[in-house]
Structure 1
């Protein structure tokens, strides 16, 4: 092996493997199955008789059982020689739903094994691996967190059916630069260096990581082969165009989400309806006093203020929800997102759209 055969393209040409299109082309295809097997063994720390030797790629989309069910589109789903199901998800940007999304995907995969007349004892363990380009857990500096079902007091495992991994690429890169990792002995570190070397969002390549990867690849056949596959993917005109299109879409959606979040926070939607509550209390007191006079000074004021405050708060909240919805509609935000942010109904939002026409 020579450096010349390893380095074939400029550094800036390498695709970011954290972009789901590139990730799936690299780790989720039949021709790269050996790379996927080595990667999974590194994450799950499986060696010897416990190692994964063979995988089958499974369909990535779960159909809905009912008309209104949500569709599930997975990045990579494989089944091992021991009928172990492994789902690998890559996330370049934070959509603020990672925990619940992970549990939902895990449950769909786990329960999909069950067929009519099949006993529960035949259900096989399901593993979910999330590789995130953002931090989820402030409680730890570890870049690799593993969750299973344990007793809170004695810490013994209930069962091995659930295993969820989170890999924090930001923490990994930070530890690598702090020289806290021994990449010669840490098998997973080699693969994470490969995934973390390019930052598509910042249009940046970590050349220091490349130089170490290049040196490691000279001694590691699996890494050497993976490096060449990565270069072939990066220099393919069709794949590179698809990668760039997907990266742009992801960044545009992330920007929209941040804009929406900023507007909602600015208007007080996510931080509470302080302004609406204040107005509601003022209106509520006024109405409460008026009602109290009619029914009797002492009893009326007491009951009227309570009911008035409640009605006033609701009125203030509704008014603020409507104002936020109108602003989001003017920014062409989709109806589903507005429903989630304002808790207005689809019908109410459609009526508001009519006001803008």
Structure 2
């Protein structure tokens, strides 16, 4: 049995859920996470080019992991995030707004014979009322606060959906119903034995959290469901592919380097912050007329540093 790759890894996540020939895998995940059943279940009509969602604010530029359009015309953005960074919530809002407005550029008529000959497409004029809904699903695997270790969300639910609501009249909710954001907080999920998983949502979150650690007997239990059988066979195929494994290892090393840089920056900022506190204390003690050697002993600053503060 080959060791399965971590689904939370950027390379594996995109290849696993972005396979057009196995779109029912992503359909199952979206429907399970959002609790959609029966006629409400989504069907993916098209995988969109995620590079259209490129963010050029910083370098290197980034774009969403996956973007799809359903048969009902709605758009779903799927994003996996394994580390916290400033502005994460604003980034989700940016993606929602950018995808919503880009739909104006997206819709086209089928080209006429002459247009096809010239390899051109005629834009379809759509009204504002025709703009479909946009929903972002962000899967996160980091703590909001390292000290509290309580995930990114304040509430205890693993999956929470947010939408815009009017402050005064509930009758106007339909105006604000076109943008939704669902956060799947993997840190909040309490693991349990495979045979105790009751819903597809629990199974998906369990696989996301534990793919590299799944045992053979657990995989056999999960494969009893046709969708999860196909999903795990897809993950097994990716895990056995040398090119995918190499890209996976490069991605893991890049992420480790990034985290190391972030932690080093935090330590430096903390150290500099403590230095500023010591300087303030030394200045206060100088004003009180204490000798330099006593101030040095109290603050840990060098005598030369304290003399320079006079």
Q: TM-score band (shorter)?
A: 0.7 to 0.9
1:29-82 Cα distance to aligned partner (Å, 9 max, x none): 212212111111112222221111233111111377999999551100001111
2:54–2:64 Cα contact (<8 Å) kept? no
Structure 1 unmatched runs, 5+: 1-8, 200-204, 283-357
CA distance in 2, matches of 1:211, 1:281: 67
1:151-192 Cα distance to aligned partner (Å, 9 max, x none): 3567773521111011111211xx124x7x9523x1111111
Match of 2:35 among 24, 45, 51: 45
Measured on the aligned residues, the alpha-carbon RMSD in Å equals 3.3
1:82-109 Cα distance to aligned partner (Å, 9 max, x none): 1111010111222343211111111111
Match of 2:202 among 189, 206, 213: 189
What is the CA-CA distance between 1:249 and the residue it aligns to? 0.7
Give the corresponding residue for 2:79: 89
CA distance in 1, matches of 2:155, 2:142: 14
Give the corresponding residue for 2:176: 159
Instruction: Confirm or deny that 1:217 pairs with 2:216.
Output: no
Helix, strand or coil at the partner of 2:204: helix
What is the CA-CA distance between 1:23 and the residue it aligns to? 0.4
1:86–1:129 Cα contact (<8 Å) kept? yes
Change (3 A) 1:104 1:236: same
Higher relative contact order (CA 8 A, sep 6+): 2
Instruction: Confirm or deny that 1:169 pairs with 2:186.
Output: yes
CA distance in 1, matches of 2:45, 2:204: 19
Give the corresponding residue for 1:140: 155
Give the corresponding residue for 1:4: none
1:133-161 Cα distance to aligned partner (Å, 9 max, x none): 11343522211111111235677735211
Helix, strand or coil at the partner of 2:84: coil
Helix, strand or coil at the partner of 2:163: strand
Q: TM-score, normalised by structure 2?
A: 0.73
What is the CA-CA distance between 1:233 and the residue it aligns to? 0.6
1:193–1:213 Cα contact (<8 Å) kept? no
Match of 2:250 among 245, 252, 262: 245
Helix, strand or coil at the partner of 2:176: strand
Structure 2 unmatched runs, 5+: 106-122, 145-151, 286-310
CA distance in 2, matches of 1:273, 1:138: 33
Helix, strand or coil at the partner of 1:32: helix
Change (3 A) 1:63 1:38: closer
1:88–1:129 Cα contact (<8 Å) kept? yes
CA distance in 2, matches of 1:119, 1:212: 51
Instruction: Confirm or deny that 1:125 pairs with 2:115.
Output: no
Change (3 A) 1:276 1:147: farther
Helix, strand or coil at the partner of 2:191: helix
Q: TM-score, normalised by structure 1?
A: 0.64
What is the CA-CA distance between 1:224 and the residue it aligns to? 0.8
Aligned positions, number = 259
Give the corresponding residue for 2:16: 26
Helix, strand or coil at the partner of 1:73: coil
What is the CA-CA distance between 1:214 and the residue it aligns to? 2.9
* 35-44 or 156-165: bigger deviation: 156-165
What is the CA-CA distance between 1:17 and the residue it aligns to? 0.4
